[in-house]
């Protein structure tokens, strides 16, 4: 894995974890997903990205296949859904139900390289990088971000901090795996 993708993945895991802890703290959020699943899914979400940059393939799909082959079926579903949600369940989000899939999908959209940014900034970067100046592609990316904005909206109606405040929960230490050792 390229070092920059590794750093990105660690930061996505931190953001997903911060949101998860917020859901646990929010009395109105029903049954958040397990921490180990959220963190593992976030750390693994770009597992195939390096391979696909080199070989040209869909990294979400190939990443899911890699996880499946290793026996990590549930993590594979998180990986498969991290770019675009295969199921957008507004009713569940309104009721406060978020799975590890939505948390990783959202957290990934908040991290540009290894920096936490507003959704809008990540959207502009993705349009710039992946739309090839084609209107259809740009439209598709924008629609996906609109879904992400809705996820953000429903998530943060449950949390007692705002999307901009995520950065205030980040530790000063560099993003690395030590952060996730179980004794924490
Ligand atoms: Fe990705």
Does some domain include residue 56? yes
Q: Look at the chain and report how many structural domains it folds into.
A: 1
The tens digit of pLDDT for each residue in 146-164 reads 999 999 999 999 999 999 9
Does some domain include residue 181? no
Give which of 119, 120, 123, 83 is closest to 101, Cα–Cα. 83
The C-alpha atoms of residue 114 and residue 107 are separated, in whole angstroms, by: 12
Does some domain include residue 183? no
Does some domain include residue 164? yes
The C-alpha atoms of residue 99 and residue 33 are separated, in whole angstroms, by: 6
Does some domain include residue 177? no
Does some domain include residue 21? yes
Task: Compute the distance from residue 179 Cα to the ligand 1 centre, in Å.
Answer: 21
Element (H, E) at 42: helix 35-44
Task: Compute the distance from residue 60 Cα to the ligand 1 centre, in Å.
Answer: 7
Task: Compute the distance from residue 159 Cα to the ligand 1 centre, in Å.
Answer: 25
Task: Compute the distance from residue 149 Cα to the ligand 1 centre, in Å.
Answer: 18
> Residue 70 maps to which CATH number?
1.10.3210
Which parts of 34-178 are beta strand (E)?
Answer: 111-112, 115-116
Question: Could you list the residue range(s) of the whole structural domain that residue 35 is in?
Answer: 3-171
**Mean pLDDT score, 11-20:** 94
Task: Compute the distance from residue 181 Cα to the ligand 1 centre, in Å.
Answer: 24
The tens digit of pLDDT for each residue in 92-113 reads 999 999 999 999 999 999 999 9
The C-alpha atoms of residue 94 and residue 148 are separated, in whole angstroms, by: 14
Task: Compute the distance from residue 27 Cα to the ligand 1 centre, in Å.
Answer: 32
Does some domain include residue 184? no
Does some domain include residue 182? no
Summary mean pLDDT of the chain: 91
Residue with token string 């959209």? 109
């Amino acid at each position: 894995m390229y070092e920059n993708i590794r750093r990105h993945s660690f930061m996505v895991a931190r953001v997903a974890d911060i949101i998860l802890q917020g859901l646990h703290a929010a009395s109105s959020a029903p049954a958040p997903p397990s921490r180990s699943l959220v963190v593992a899914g976030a750390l693994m979400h770009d597992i195939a990205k390096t391979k696909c940059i080199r070989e040209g393939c869909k990294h979400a799909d190939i990443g899911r296949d890699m996880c499946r082959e290793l026996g990590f079926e549930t993590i594979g579903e998180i990986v498969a859904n991290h770019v675009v949600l295969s199921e957008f369940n507004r009713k569940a989000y309104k009721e406060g139900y978020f799975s590890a899939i939505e948390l990783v999908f959202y957290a990934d959209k908040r991290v540009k390289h290894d920096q936490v940014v507003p959704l809008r900034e990540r959207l502009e970067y993705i349009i710039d990088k992946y739309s090839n100046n084609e209107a259809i592609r740009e439209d598709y990316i924008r629609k996906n971000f609109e879904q992400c904005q809705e996820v953000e909206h429903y998530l943060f109606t449950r949390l007692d901090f705002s999307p901009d405040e995520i950065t205030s929960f980040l530790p000063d230490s560099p993003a690395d795996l030590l952060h996730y050792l179980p004794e924490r």
